[in-house]
């Protein structure tokens, strides 16, 4: 049995109604909404066919139908239209571009809070992979007698500041080394900067050998840390308010799963993937998330994917609206971190 246009239209109406009401949908409801007059009996037959095809389920307590995981998959892949976004929502998101937000974690956290607020779901956003950016500035600044702040600034304006123990060194020496390192590696991709090339400075400038011997291993370890995924997560408390997770144990298991770094990494997936990806139920591959869907997309700095956005909610979510919000947050972060203020 093949699925024809009428079955597709009926399936879309059923899923749209179920997303709105969370109640099983009957043939009379669809008959009232169908654009061309069609009897309830005909719709019942079509719904029975859709159930046989695996796109609908019939809860044993109801004569109505609800979407199956396969039904949602078909809905997202073939039937979905872009969700609306109003001016107030645009203004909220565009607000990310105003002011001088420099701390990358503050920007990402604000974006995650907005995404969760606008969708009522859980948002996860990874911080930009700093190593994908180009080095714009490098400074060593003495803050107290035994502490130096190492500051790396990317071409996007994002920076990392790392306090390090450093005694018996004058600020004038730190300034000279800062200038040497910045000039040598200016506008190089941070992931391409090799420590051994920095080590060549010890040969060229033996008077700074002692300081460089101490500093280079710290820089090497700092660069290694750039490989580790850092992320912010917002909206976990919303899980307990979602009608679809009204069983407290189910909500608790989901909330606890979101505390695990490995699970977050699996939800977000690899950064290199293009476009928006939607995983539904078992496609996520995690038992605790069997009743969930996750929407993910990368965001970019100067056309290079550096981070990932994920939105997690029940399978009964407004996919059109959710995907529109994810896409708009992605574009805003990409503009911001690329230094484009439209």
The pLDDT assigned to 99 comes to 59
Q: Point out which residues pair with 154 in neighbouring strands.
A: 135
Contacting residues for 280 by C-beta, under 8 A, at least 6 apart:
69, 72, 73, 76, 293, 315
Give the model's pLDDT for residue 212: 86
Q: Which residues in 181-220 are b (16+ Cβ under 10 Å) and which e?
A: bbebbeeeebeebeeeebeebbeeeeebeebbeebbeebe
User: What is the per-residue pLDDT for 76?
Assistant: 97
Sheet containing strand 122-126, edge to edge, reads 231-234, 122-126, 304-314, 292-301, 277-280
- Burial of 69: CB neighbours in 10 Å, binned 0-12, 13-18, 19+: middle
The tens digit of pLDDT for each residue in 14-30 reads 999 999 999 999 999 99
Q: Which range (24-28, 32-36, 74-78) has the least confidence?
A: 32-36
50 contacts 10 by C-beta, under 8 angstroms? yes
Tell me the C-alpha distance between 342 and 339, whole Å: 10
3-state secondary structure 96-109: HHCCCCCCHHHHHH
More reliable by pLDDT, 115 or 209: 115
Rounded average pLDDT over 197-226: 82
SS3 per residue for 42-73: HHHHHHHHHHHCCCEECCCCCCCEEECHHHHH
pTM of the model: 0.81
301 token code pair: 């700095």
Give the model's pLDDT for residue 272: 62
Q: What pLDDT is stored for residue 82 in this prediction? A: 81
Indicate whether 152 pLDDT > 90: no
Please provide the average confidence, as pLDDT, over all residues in the chain. 86
pLDDT single digits (tens) 120-131: 999 999 988 766
pLDDT band at 111 (very low <50, low <70, confident <90, very high): very high
pLDDT score, position 243: 81
Ordered domains of the chain (ranges, CATH): 5-79 (1.10.10.10), 87-127+229-339 (3.30.450.40), 131-226 (3.30.390.60)
Six-digit token string for 108 = 């990402």
């Amino acid at each position: 049995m093949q699925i024809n246009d009428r079955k597709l239209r009926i399936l879309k109406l059923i899923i749209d109604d179920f997303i709105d009401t969370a109640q099983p949908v009957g043939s009379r409801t669809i008959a009232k909404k169908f654009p061309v007059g069609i009897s309830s009996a005909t719709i019942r037959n079509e719904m029975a066919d859709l159930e046989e095809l695996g796109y609908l389920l019939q809860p044993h307590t109801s004569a109505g139908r609800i979407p199956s995981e396969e039904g949602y998959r078909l809905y997202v892949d073939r039937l979905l239209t872009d969700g609306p976004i109003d001016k107030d929502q645009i203004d909220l998101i565009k607000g990310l571009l105003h002011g001088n937000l420099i701390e990358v974690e503050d920007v990402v956290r604000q974006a995650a809070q907005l995404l969760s607020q606008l969708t009522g779901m859980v948002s996860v956003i990874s911080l930009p992979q700093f190593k994908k950016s180009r080095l714009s500035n490098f400074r060593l600044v003495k803050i107290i007698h035994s502490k130096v702040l190492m500051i790396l600034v990317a071409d996007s304006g994002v920076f990392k500041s790392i306090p390090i123990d450093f005694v018996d060194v004058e600020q004038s020496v730190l300034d000279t080394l800062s200038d040497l390192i910045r000039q040598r590696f200016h506008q190089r991709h941070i992931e391409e900067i090799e420590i051994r090339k920095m080590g060549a400075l010890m040969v060229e400038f033996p008077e700074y050998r002692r300081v460089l011997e101490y500093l280079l291993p710290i820089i090497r370890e700092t660069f290694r840390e750039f490989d580790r995924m850092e992320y912010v997560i917002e909206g976990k408390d919303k899980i307990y308010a979602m009608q679809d997770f009204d069983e407290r144990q189910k909500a608790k298991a989901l909330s606890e799963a979101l505390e695990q770094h490995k699970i977050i990494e699996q939800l977000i997936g690899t950064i290199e993937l293009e476009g928006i990806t939607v995983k539904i139920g078992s496609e996520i591959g995690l038992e605790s998330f069997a009743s969930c869907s996750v929407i993910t997309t990368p965001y970019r700095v100067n056309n290079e994917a550096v981070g990932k956005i994920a939105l997690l909610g029940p399978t009964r979510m407004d996919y059109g609206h959710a995907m529109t919000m994810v896409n708009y947050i992605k574009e805003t972060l990409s503009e911001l971190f690329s230094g484009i203020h439209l």
